[in-house]
């Protein structure tokens, strides 16, 4: 895992040259990038392996970017998924329509890759705190996402890389219940093939490490019967 957490970005763009240019520049910045060329395929990919942010072209084959955005906003699991819309349409009314549909930001072609990356980082900092290179803090428990250090009331907590990612993910979404399958996809990665019970093993290790520093601290990681795991504030 890189020193700083980097986002998974889906580029939905039917012009191959533009998609290649965007992917090249994002990968240089350390982002994980996947590209698709139409709206239907984008919806399938998002359902199978939800990205952290979508770069979405307005004019697409089969389903327009505006329609894709609208559908994603109507689904609970993607309602808050960051979307940056790209378009050749620069009129004010078009920008308003794109933003009203639910896009978080809007860029008109042609654009500078450096400006695009800056806008992506701005959206991620605003919406996903784990990408802001800051610490996640709840109830005296602190996770430094840049240095990968975890502490409670100033006491260091030693965690393995997987336990660190697991804790950071759960703390980033307090109160949200994640199934084992979701945790495998979002913490281990969708291209890693391990048994779902592997999650239980690492949750036990994480709880043990927390308990060793402060009795009861492990209780923040709750098991929800038949559903999964959740980080609960006290």
What does the angle CA 170 – CA 176 – CA 178 come to, to the nearest 5 degrees?
Answer: 70
> In CATH, what class is 135-231?
mainly alpha
pLDDT at 187: 82
Residue 204 CA: distances (Å) to CA of 142, 168, 217:
19, 15, 13
pLDDT at 3: 38
Tokens matching residue 170: 């759960």
DSSP conformational letter for 178: B
Buried b (16+ CB within 10 A) or exposed e, 100-136: ebbbbbbbeeeeeeeebbebbbebbeeebbbbbeebb
Q: Residues 6 or more apart from 108 whose CB is under 8 A from it? A: 86, 87, 88, 89, 90
pLDDT at 1: 33
Torsion angles phi and psi, residue 145, rounded to 5? -75, -20
Mean pLDDT by 10 residues, the chain (234 residues): 64 94 93 93 90 90 88 84 82 62 82 90 74 74 84 90 90 87 79 76 94 91 92 81
Residue ranges of domains in the chain: 8-131, 135-231
How far apart CA 17 and CA 119 sit, in angstroms, is: 21
Query: Model-level pTM?
Result: 0.60
pLDDT at 130: 61
How far apart CA 217 and CA 211 sit, in angstroms, is: 6
Tokens matching residue 61: 């084959």
pLDDT at 76: 79
Q: What's the fold here for domain 8-131? A: Rossmann fold (3.40.50)
pLDDT at 19: 94
């Amino acid at each position: 895992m890189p020193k700083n957490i980097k986002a998974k970005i889906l580029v939905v763009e039917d012009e191959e040259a533009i998609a290649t240019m965007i992917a090249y520049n994002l990968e240089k910045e350390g982002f994980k990038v996947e590209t698709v060329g139409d709206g239907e395929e984008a919806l399938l990919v998002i359902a199978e392996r939800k990205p952290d942010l979508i770069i979405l072209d307005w004019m697409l084959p089969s389903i327009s970017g505006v329609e894709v955005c609208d559908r994603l906003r109507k689904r609970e699991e993607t309602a808050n998924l960051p979307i940056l819309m790209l378009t050749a349409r620069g009129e004010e009314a078009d920008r308003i329509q794109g933003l009203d549909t639910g896009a978080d930001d809007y860029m008109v072609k042609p654009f500078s890759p450096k400006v695009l990356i800056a806008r992506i980082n701005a959206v991620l900092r605003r919406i996903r705190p784990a990408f802001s290179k800051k610490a996640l803090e709840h109830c005296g428990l602190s996770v430094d996402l840049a240095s990968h250090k975890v502490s409670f009331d100033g006491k260091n907590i030693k965690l393995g890389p997987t336990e660190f990612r697991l804790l950071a993910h759960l703390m980033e979404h307090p109160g949200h219940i994640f199934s084992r399958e979701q945790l495998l996809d979002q913490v281990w990665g969708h291209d890693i093939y391990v048994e779902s019970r592997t999650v239980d093993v690492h949750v036990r290790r994480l709880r043990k490490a927390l308990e060793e520093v402060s009795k009861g601290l492990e209780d923040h990681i709750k098991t929800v019967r038949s559903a999964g795991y959740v980080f609960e504030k006290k």
